[in-house]
Structures are given as C-alpha cells and as structure tokens.
Amino acid sequence: MTLKIKVLAAIAVIFITFTGCSKDSIESSYQYEVSGSAGNYSITCEGAPSGTAQYSNVGSGWTYKWTQTGTRWLYMSAQNNTASGSVTVKIIRDGKVLAQQTSSGAYVIATVDGTY
C-alpha cells in the first residue's frame, strides 16, 4: 500500500469519526400515503413519532409526514370503506418508496410494514 493511499484512508477514518457520519445519525423525511379509487378509508399507523394512530373517513391522497433519526419499525394499513374500488398504501423516505401494497375490492385492507 502506498503512502498516499494510507494517508487518504486515515483521513477518511478521521472524517467519519469526528463528523458522526453514520446511518443512525442521519435525519430523514418520512411519509405514509394512501390513495386509490374507493375514496373512503380507515387508517392505522404505527411507528411515526407518537406511537399508534387511527384515522377514519379519509380520502385518496391522504398523507402523514414526519422526520426521524435512525430506523424503527413502521406499520400502516388502510381499509376500503366502500363496496368496490382499490386502496394503495406506501411508506416513503426522502421521496423514495420503501414499501407499497395495493388491494382491490369491497372492504379490502392493504398493509405495509418494515424497519426503515
């Protein structure tokens, strides 16, 4: 290993150590999202800043946004409250869809979860 490579490697280690760059220290923007053709949903969310939350009679395009540092278990389900139509749920971080599910039919439920 040349001296130049050793010096660059040492600088990288020092930078990471002193700037605190790690996956657990980066703040990210998160979002739960519900959409579909039914237009009337009941939602249960877990893992956003204040634990479990439930919402009734929400329409397509509903979102819940927050920021967090590190990862945690997230869960979201939405039930179609009508006799037909579809429901899609998403977990989004920094604009990227991490999880998505769609269900179609009368009173169906779509669910996503994971550690993000």
- Residue pLDDT, tens place only, 6-39: 554 555 545 444 444 555 678 999 999 999 999 9
Q: What is the pLDDT of residue 84?
A: 97
Query: Would you tell me which CATH number, out of the four given (3.40.720, 3.40.50, 2.60.40, 3.30.70), belongs to the domain 23-115?
Result: 2.60.40
10: amino acid identity, one letter:
A
Q: What is the pLDDT of residue 47?
A: 81
CB within 8 Å of 60: residues ≥ 6 apart: 34, 35, 36, 37, 38, 39, 41
Q: What is the pLDDT of residue 65?
A: 95
Residue 12 has φ and ψ, to the nearest 5°, of -65, -45
Question: Which segments of the chain have a pLDDT < 50?
Answer: 8, 13, 15-20
Question: Where in 1-116 does DSSP place strands (E)?
Answer: 27-35, 41-46, 53-58, 62-69, 73-80, 86-93, 96-104, 109-115
**Structure letter (DSSP) for residue 104:** E
Asked whether 60 and 54 are in contact (CB, 8 A), the reply is no
Q: What is the pLDDT of residue 92?
A: 98
